[in-house]
Amino acid sequence: MAFHKTPEPYYRFPERTGGEQLSCQHCQQPLHGQRFVEKDGRPCCTRCYEKIVANSCADCKKPIGCGSKELHHEGKYWHEGCFRCFHCSRSLASDSFSIKNERIICSKCLPRTDASTCHGCKRAIKPGTKSFEYGGSHWHERCFTCHRCLKEIGSESFVPRGDDIYCVACNQKKFSQHCTHCRKPITSGGVSYREEPWHTECFVCKTCRKPLGGQQFTGHENALYCVECYGNFIAKKCGACRMPVTGFGGAEVVTYEERQWHKDCFKCRKCFGSLANKRFVTHNRDVYCSDCGKNL
């Protein structure tokens, strides 16, 4: 380990010879009456020294400025205050140390490095300390937490997602589909309707609560109904037979002024001829063919 001080800037009032003037080798700024540093026998202003010439600290990555104490070891440089033990943060500027896995370690902490390293905080797990192991990695108990809510996992179930782990609740909130009806996560199974996910227990008739999965049903005003309930409570009644007009099974429906008929029921009130796709007239809410309508 080499421990030395970076060059101390000083003033020089150079003598002018033949009109020449001392200047910074980098920015060419005149140095007459200015603080500067000589590096390899060449002048450099303090600004260029710290910006271009100075070594960068291996710890904080900032330049080691003029007059600062600098430590040097195997091609790396540190500020005096940055040269600390990775584990206990004790200054090692005047103490013995070792380098292990590119980390500076004091002699007291060195034995601990043989222990497992926590995947969370990257520090050693001391012998006898409660820890967790998963997928070949180790964690302190306090570091084995959900990536989303930061709650300690402990002995609870968890779900790995890449390098992160999630408790079951957070995994459901972040990654599971949510039911269109109750907005809660769908953890298993479910039904898809109009490309929207539903819990099987939520996909039921609004009126009788009968499950609709695999059954014939219809939607009305953002609600779902089985065939029976739609016919009994929602569908309009046929203008002739007064039975529900549902259109289920491809049955054709005739609509006129908010009234509906089954196609087979849409007949002349007098001659009973079918009026489907024909001209007709109405009288007292009844329908008639054109011929019969002339005699009303």
Domain-wise residue ranges, the chain: 2-83, 131-175, 191-232, 235-293
**Helices and strands per DSSP (H, E), number in the chain:** 4, 20
List the structure tokens of 63: 């330049």
List the structure tokens of 277: 């796709």
CATH 3.20.190.10 is right for the domain spanning 191-232 = no
Same fold, 191-232 and 235-293: yes
Percentage of residues in the chain having pLDDT higher than 70: 90
- What pLDDT digit, counting tens, does each position of 146-199 carry? 988 999 998 888 988 888 889 988 888 887 788 988 988 887 778 888 888 899
Note the CATH number of domain 131-175: 2.10.110.10
Are 241 and 234 spatial neighbours (Cβ–Cβ below 8 Å)?
A: no
191: phi then psi, degrees, rounded to nearest 5: -130, 140
pTM of the model: 0.35
Class of domain 235-293: mainly beta
Note the CATH number of domain 2-83: 2.10.110
Sequence-distant (≥ 6) Cβ neighbours of residue 72 within 8 angstroms? 1, 2, 3, 4, 55, 78
Are 100 and 110 spatial neighbours (Cβ–Cβ below 8 Å)?
A: yes
Residue 171, Cβ density class (10 Å: 0-12 exposed, 13-18 middle, ≥19 buried) = buried
**Which pLDDT belongs to residue 5?**
53
Question: Could you tell me how far CA 169 lies from the centroid of its own chain?
Answer: 15
- Calpha distance 106→178 (Å, rounded): 53
Mean confidence (pLDDT) of the chain: 82
pLDDT surpasses 50 at 17? no
pLDDT surpasses 90 at 11? no
**Which pLDDT belongs to residue 67?**
76
Q: Residue-wise over 277-295: b if at least 16 C-beta within 10 A, else e?
A: eeebeeeeeebbbeebbee
